[in-house]
Amino acid sequence: MQMSGAQMVCEAIIAEGVKTVFGYPGGAIMHVYDEIYKQNGFEHILNRHEQAAVHAADGYARATGEVGVAMVTSGPGFTNAVTGLATAYMDSIPMVVISGQVPLSLIGTDGFQEIDAVGISRPCTKHNFLVRTLEELPRVLKEAFYIARSGRPGPVLVDIPKDITVDIGDFAYPDSVDIPSYKPTYKGNKRQIEKAVEAIKSAKKPLLYLGGGVVLSNAADLVRELAEKTQIPAVETLMARGVMGAKNPLLLGMLGMHGNYASNMAMSETDLVISLGARFDDRVTGKLSEFAKYADIIHVDIDAANIGKLVDVDYPIVGDVTQVLEKMIPLLDDVDTDRYNAWREILKRYDVLHPQSYVDSDEVIKPQWAIERIGTLIGEDAIITSDVGQHQMWAAQHYPFDRPRQWINSGGLGTMGFGFPAAIGAKRAYPEKTVINITGDGSILMNMQELVTAAEYKIPVINVILNNHFLGMVRQWQTFFYEKRYSETDLSFQPNFKALAEACGGIGYDVTTKAEFDAALEDAIKQDKVCFMNVQTNRFEDVLPMVPSGGALFNMMLPQKTEGEEK
């Protein structure tokens, strides 16, 4: 069939089953937008900044597991999208970003709004394409979606010169992809799996170390089955919250810099780490030479380059977590779960000794209370996104996550400004679910223009701003490590958050008491409008436990047990 390059882009998006595209038009991509106007195979959401458009596509992808799609113009449109690409890249999120480029004849001439998009995005995409001919466009689009979702997922950029979107040619969307140089490994090596199983059966203190790969592989049910069958306790990384489910007695909690005592001690004392889809990030391991010092390590990862990158691995298994567990679980029929009884008892005692706790207050809203309260009132029905800072860590520590994909945050890059647009993407994917962005007074301002997007499209996400009048996480480090010199972290000067939300067509709530919190949240859930809940919290609350950067996991700063109601 004969059509323009711009039409081909739309046809490919429809063929891939994409229902929503997030984006922002401009000169180089205008022909594609002209075709978007004419078609009705998918909807387009006009975010008010390209960064937000990419985060929204990212949030959509994280919530659904499908490829998110964003569209931007050349030059500044593309450069605005870079933080979004990098955020998705660090967390292995499947995404296709389509950018306009100046016409082929102008490439290399410093043309108006020309920037080397493939050059800039090379280190923050899984792959990228500069389309050079109309003939290759259908294949490139097909490959982009395939590469984004296969193997270790990631964002793919397709940069399309304007003249290619105008030219007319034959279109047939390929049914299949064949890239001889790209063949991801899904099946784990059978021999290696058998060896790992033997190691599990002879361990005394095994530990499941669960990472974001479990979520990406949709393997949570299998992981729960493995834990249940073997009675091996589990720790989750920031990216894996929800995999085991908060009520699961085998879940110790989150490990790492802000992990709980039992989780970090478990990692320090285990004799066998069973790592599933985790990558030994420095925020998780602390001082590497002390990390899991007494343990052999089984490492299951779809990305061979992750294995042995930071720690030496005894049982490397390259493969998809789902496929590996499908083979591994049946081999564990005769596992003797009593072997691990003593180990679980030790860990239970650790948890009693130093539970995840905070000191609540009657005078002021504690951020941890607010998060627990959302959990109590909405719990598993909500999708929780977050920004970056203390509020993010408290959310990860205190929210009762019940299922994978319920918790959406920027773990690898730590991008402030991610939460609100990501919530918009998630809510668009699941309109029937309550979507709450737990954010800070610093982070929310980094994409606050999205109030307009959410108001226009009636995407009623709830932004709970845990307002400590600080760039709190940086302030905490200044308290601990910079002798309380609060250099440029005091946010005493504040916008009127309530008025700001209202000015953009949303709702604002000022919340200073627990009663007001409940009332505002209850009201917000019923509204079909986006809102800001401006929640005043105490200013100097710290995220604890904390492993100082570069320290050993077992050297934690723990919460002080002072007067007040211990929770």
Ligand X SMILES: Cc1ncc(C[n+]2csc(CCOP(=O)(O)OP(=O)(O)O)c2C)c(N)n1
Of 529, 533, 420, the closest CA to residue 466 belongs to 533
Helix (H) or strand (E) holding 436: strand 434-440
Separation of alpha carbons 291 and 312, rounded Å: 11
Identity of the residue, 86 or 531, whose beta carbon is nearer to another protein in the bound complex: 86
DSSP letters along 483-542, please? TT--TT-B--S---HHHHHHHTTSEEEEE-SHHHHHHHHHHHHH-SS-EEEEEEB-TT--
Q: What token pair was written down for 343?
A: 């180990």
In angstroms, what is the minimal distance from the CB of 179 to another protein?
7
Sheet strand arrangement including 234-236: 251-254, 234-236, 206-210, 272-276, 296-301, 315-318
Residue 553 in contact with residue 291, Cβ under 8 Å? yes
In angstroms, what is the minimal distance from the CB of 415 to Mg ion?
16
Residue 427 in contact with residue 460, Cβ under 8 Å? yes
Binding partner selected for residue 299 from Mg ion, ligand X, another protein, none, CB under the kind-specific 5 to 8 Å limit: none
Specify the DSSP class assigned to residue 223. Answer: H
- Positive or negative: CA dihedral 179, 184, 187, 189: positive
In angstroms, what is the minimal distance from the CB of 86 to Mg ion?
23
Question: Does residue 545 have a cis bond before it (omega within 30 degrees)?
Answer: yes
Identity of the residue, 288 or 332, whose beta carbon is nearer to another protein in the bound complex: 288
Of 337, 370, 350, 367, the closest CA to residue 540 belongs to 367
How crowded is the C-beta side of 144, counted as CA atoms within 13 Å? 31
Identity of the residue, 161 or 417, whose beta carbon is nearer to ligand X in the bound complex: 417
Of 426, 362, 319, 487, the closest CA to residue 68 belongs to 426
62 binds ligand X (CB under 6 A): no
Tokens 């937000």 — which residue? 52
Q: For this structure, is 50 an active site residue?
A: yes
Size of the site for ligand X (CB under 6 A): 20
Binding partner selected for residue 443 from another protein, Mg ion, ligand X, none, CB under the kind-specific 5 to 8 Å limit: ligand X
Identity of the residue, 116 or 518, whose beta carbon is nearer to another protein in the bound complex: 116
Binding partner selected for residue 304 from ligand X, another protein, Mg ion, none, CB under the kind-specific 5 to 8 Å limit: another protein
Identity of the residue, 389 or 404, whose beta carbon is nearer to ligand X in the bound complex: 389
Residue 444: phi, psi to the nearest 5? -60, -30
Q: Packing angle between helix 137-149 and helix 5-15, nearest 10 degrees?
A: 30
Selected catalytic residue, list 3, 19, 30, 113 = 113
Q: For this structure, is 183 an active site residue?
A: no
Identity of the residue, 35 or 441, whose beta carbon is nearer to Mg ion in the bound complex: 441
474 binds ligand X (CB under 6 A): yes
Residue 461 in contact with residue 529, Cβ under 8 Å? no
* Chain contacts with Mg ion (rule: CB under 5 A): 440-442, 468, 470, 472
Binding partner selected for residue 139 from Mg ion, ligand X, another protein, none, CB under the kind-specific 5 to 8 Å limit: none
207 bridge partner residues: 273
Q: For this structure, is 516 an active site residue?
A: no
In angstroms, what is the minimal distance from the CB of 540 to Mg ion?
11
472 binds ligand X (CB under 6 A): yes
Binding partner selected for residue 303 from another protein, ligand X, Mg ion, none, CB under the kind-specific 5 to 8 Å limit: another protein
Selected catalytic residue, list 50, 269, 450, 541 = 50
One-letter amino acid for residue 423 of the chain:
A
In angstroms, what is the minimal distance from the CB of 442 to ligand X?
3
* Chain contacts with another protein (rule: CB under 8 A): 118-119, 122-123, 126-127, 130, 132, 147, 179-182, 303-305, 308-309
Residue from 145, 315, 470, 532 touching ligand X (CB under 6 A): that is 470
Residue 14 in contact with residue 42, Cβ under 8 Å? yes
Of 82, 77, 118, 67, the closest CA to residue 100 belongs to 77
Q: Kindly identify the residues of this chain, within the stretch 404-463, that bind ligand X according to CB under 6 A.
A: 414-417, 440-443
Of 445, 489, 446, 437, the closest CA to residue 468 belongs to 489
In angstroms, what is the minimal distance from the CB of 192 to another protein?
17
Give 204: exposed, middle or buried? Use CB within 10 Å, 0-12, 13-18, 19+. exposed
Separation of alpha carbons 258 and 283, rounded Å: 9
Separation of alpha carbons 39 and 363, rounded Å: 56
Q: For this structure, is 113 an active site residue?
A: yes
Binding partner selected for residue 117 from Mg ion, another protein, ligand X, none, CB under the kind-specific 5 to 8 Å limit: none
Identity of the residue, 417 or 508, whose beta carbon is nearer to ligand X in the bound complex: 417
In angstroms, what is the minimal distance from the CB of 159 to another protein?
11
534 binds ligand X (CB under 6 A): no
Identity of the residue, 245 or 414, whose beta carbon is nearer to ligand X in the bound complex: 414
In angstroms, what is the minimal distance from the CB of 338 to ligand X?
44
Binding partner selected for residue 387 from Mg ion, another protein, ligand X, none, CB under the kind-specific 5 to 8 Å limit: ligand X
In angstroms, what is the minimal distance from the CB of 442 to Mg ion?
5
Selected catalytic residue, list 39, 112, 136, 540 = 112
Selected catalytic residue, list 126, 142, 162, 498 = 162
Tokens 């904390």 — which residue? 546
Cα distances (angstroms) measured from residue 166 to each of 140, 315, 485: 17, 53, 57
Residue 56 in contact with residue 97, Cβ under 8 Å? no
Q: For this structure, is 494 an active site residue?
A: no
58 binds ligand X (CB under 6 A): no
Q: Work out the number of other CB atoms within 10 angstroms of the CB of residue 456.
A: 14
* Per-residue binding letters, 334-363, with ligand X (x by CB under 6 A): ------------------------------
Q: Candidates 229-237, 328-336, 468-476, 544-552: pick the segment binding ligand X (CB under 6 A).
A: 468-476
Residue from 58, 320, 387, 450 touching ligand X (CB under 6 A): that is 387
Identity of the residue, 192 or 512, whose beta carbon is nearer to another protein in the bound complex: 192
Selected catalytic residue, list 473, 533, 546, 556 = 473
Identity of the residue, 291 or 517, whose beta carbon is nearer to ligand X in the bound complex: 517
Catalytically annotated residues: 50, 112-113, 162, 473
Instruction: Name the residues that contact ligand X, by CB under 6 A.
Output: 387-391, 414-417, 440-443, 466, 468, 470-474
